[in-house]
Structure 1
């Protein structure tokens, strides 16, 4: 990408972190006519973005903006201006301009037609190069010097610089092997900036399974179920693991489950194995023939998979009464006792406190320093909401930083 020549020129704008938020901040500043240098600790950019594309890159979600914003919980109103300025429609147009047309899946999720992240990232990096953005890899952000300069450790040693404006987009702490390891938290706290503890989001949970579940059903899918917790109900799928449970339906409830465990030491997750049937309709189906085993009876009469039957037994002896058994099938409670490690979470909750940021994502205590993406204290479920907010906050911080510079 472009040469980092400084002679006779004003100090460049700097972006730290080459994930979606940082790349979008760099593009936005370069389009505004600023000279941009983008630093990243990894050997290649956007590694987590590429990982997200392995199963089909879910860029955003196609739903009314008011519904869309509810996915961000308490942070919705602080994120709203950025997302309304860079909404899903703009995200799709941006992708198309890079040669990756998108489509809306049956669930409302939006994907590139190629289903891949690699072609999109390659085209994006070409565009950034054409805009003159310089990419400096293997340069790790260490913090702030005493005089407020940014400090980096690179292959040639440590360096400090004072850019005209900087956007920090260093990510959370999930999948640290891909670059986002939360190493920025302590330097921020040392600088007097409040950071809410980083916690796993869109994560799996630990269940103290019986040896039978761990031995026979690790990796077994739970299909066409509904999960409930804290007044919320989500239909979808999950997977039983040897350590607990994970999957899309679980991730959608992860915030409330995580907070319940933190407060009470456990969370009761209710599983409805037959969400399309009422208790009465299910009870009417439960007719057991003489000589039929319980497993055969439940498989044939209720259409339950072996893993579902095993989970029903985890909750205690199966009731003989059909109505009570129907209630168990419709509400089988699993006791979750912990979250999976943050290193295996899809995303991270916590981060720079909103009280530390102004409306343009600038640090109140560090004028000219802007923050974007998962570094900020917000979380969202999977479904395109994570990437949408990362892109939108990157664009917003980039606009503000370009104006400041």
Structure 2
């Protein structure tokens, strides 16, 4: 076995799923792989993502799967084609982690947990010779390229590597390591970085004090949202969300968060239309609302329609007083309640982020065109996706590509190194 001190070194900066997947593929070749992470342990955001069920990928047909990556589908699709959900599940099986497909098409480990997966993975990486350096914060380059400056527990350190893979994440959940602080040194080198913005996030709404004091934290179940996006396309999605002190959040909102955010960016606000009873039509509602009420209160009228609690509260909050007692207008409002959203919640509160290193500055192996031998992977690239396994899938796929790309680049630099298999 070749001593690690004589092997070419590849430094991976960031120990999340993208960085670990880069290490996974590089560990199969004769190189020294060093993973640096600023946190006391690696994979912290990965573990957080596993709380409530480790949704690792999605089993829907591939064309539908890649469509979830929206405006950056063209850049992400080839990477996912090279490492699709089926390949990811096969890799997990090799690791001893069996998976199953839930009723929604989401894929989970059979035990639903992230920790056993991460433990098995780290054990295999260490056995393969991967070296982990925790509490090592990358602060920049000594010289552009492979001379890396860190702040470590032992003080300032300069490390030279033959190739470097950055997998530092975006800007969400900064307390778990994804601080976005890498943007400044990247931009200082002339690397194009699109502004990091919240994705899969909640939005601010101007609730009355009465409404938010009574309903904050209450779930809104079985409703449909409709939005006309900045491209004049009508988007419609059914699901659930949650009222918050500041506005609204949850899976249904996250699925439309990119479109909502872009509308707010262009016009200062976004109006989404809430269908509180998606299984009923306006005619059905009008027929029942037009019947004489007698002494029946509005609350009881709404309850008989299936609107009580927070849904009834939302009607009172958003329907003008003049329309409450007009059967036709109230029926129409229940099917298309206009909710004005004013701003995305802060990036630190978001599940993930949009923006990052521009794909135009990368080659097909995710190497920076301006810095040969330097690669980028994961959420620090300029793409976004909804929850549902799409985020992790792209992190794994980009990490794999960056790892293989780094090896291929070394092959071009060193005559004794064989290129990786196809």
Q: Give the TM-score normalised by structure 1.
A: 0.96
Is the Cα contact below 8 Å between 1:229 and 1:269 reproduced in 2? yes
Which moved further from structure 2: 318-327 or 236-245? 318-327
Is the Cα contact below 8 Å between 2:275 and 2:337 reproduced in 1? yes
Task: Say whether residues 1:278 and 2:281 are aligned partners.
Answer: yes
* SS, match of residue 236 in structure 1: strand
Give the count of matched residue pairs.
Answer: 399
- In the alignment, what sits opposite 1:65? 62
Q: C-alpha separation between the residues in 2 aligned to 1:125 and 1:285?
A: 61
Deviation string, structure 1 residues 172-224 (Cα, Å, up to 9, x no partner): 01010000000100010011111101000000000110011111000011000
Change (3 A) 1:30 1:217: same
From 395, 399, 402, the counterpart of 1:397: 402
Deviation string, structure 1 residues 217-273 (Cα, Å, up to 9, x no partner): 000110001111121111100000011000000000101111111111111011111
* SS, match of residue 233 in structure 1: strand
- In the alignment, what sits opposite 1:319? 324
Q: C-alpha separation between the residues in 2 aligned to 1:365 and 1:214?
A: 51
From 298, 301, 321, the counterpart of 2:302: 298
- In the alignment, what sits opposite 2:20? 23
Task: Spell out structure 1 runs of 4+ moving beyond 6 A.
Answer: none
TM-aligned CA deviation for residue 6 of structure 1: 5.6
Is the Cα contact below 8 Å between 1:213 and 1:242 reproduced in 2? no
Q: C-alpha separation between the residues in 2 aligned to 1:145 and 1:43?
A: 24
TM-aligned CA deviation for residue 398 of structure 1: 0.5
- In the alignment, what sits opposite 2:207? 209
TM-aligned CA deviation for residue 322 of structure 1: 2.0
Is the Cα contact below 8 Å between 1:14 and 1:166 reproduced in 2? yes
TM-aligned CA deviation for residue 147 of structure 1: 5.0
Q: Give the TM-score normalised by structure 2.
A: 0.92
TM-aligned CA deviation for residue 166 of structure 1: 1.2
From 244, 248, 251, the counterpart of 2:251: 248
- In the alignment, what sits opposite 2:111? 114
Deviation string, structure 1 residues 157-179 (Cα, Å, up to 9, x no partner): 11122212111000001010000
Q: C-alpha separation between the residues in 1 aligned to 2:144 and 2:210?
A: 60
Deviation string, structure 1 residues 107-148 (Cα, Å, up to 9, x no partner): 111111111100100000011011110000000111112353
Task: Say whether residues 1:158 and 2:163 are aligned partners.
Answer: no
- In the alignment, what sits opposite 2:181? 183
- In the alignment, what sits opposite 2:166? 168
- In the alignment, what sits opposite 1:124? 121
Q: C-alpha separation between the residues in 2 aligned to 1:362 and 1:71?
A: 24
From 264, 268, 285, the counterpart of 2:271: 268
* SS, match of residue 100 in structure 1: coil
Name structure 2 gaps, 5 residues minimum.
229-233, 411-422
Q: C-alpha separation between the residues in 2 aligned to 1:44 and 1:10?
A: 26
- In the alignment, what sits opposite 2:361? 356
- In the alignment, what sits opposite 2:389? 384
- In the alignment, what sits opposite 1:221? 219
Is the Cα contact below 8 Å between 1:295 and 1:306 reproduced in 2? no
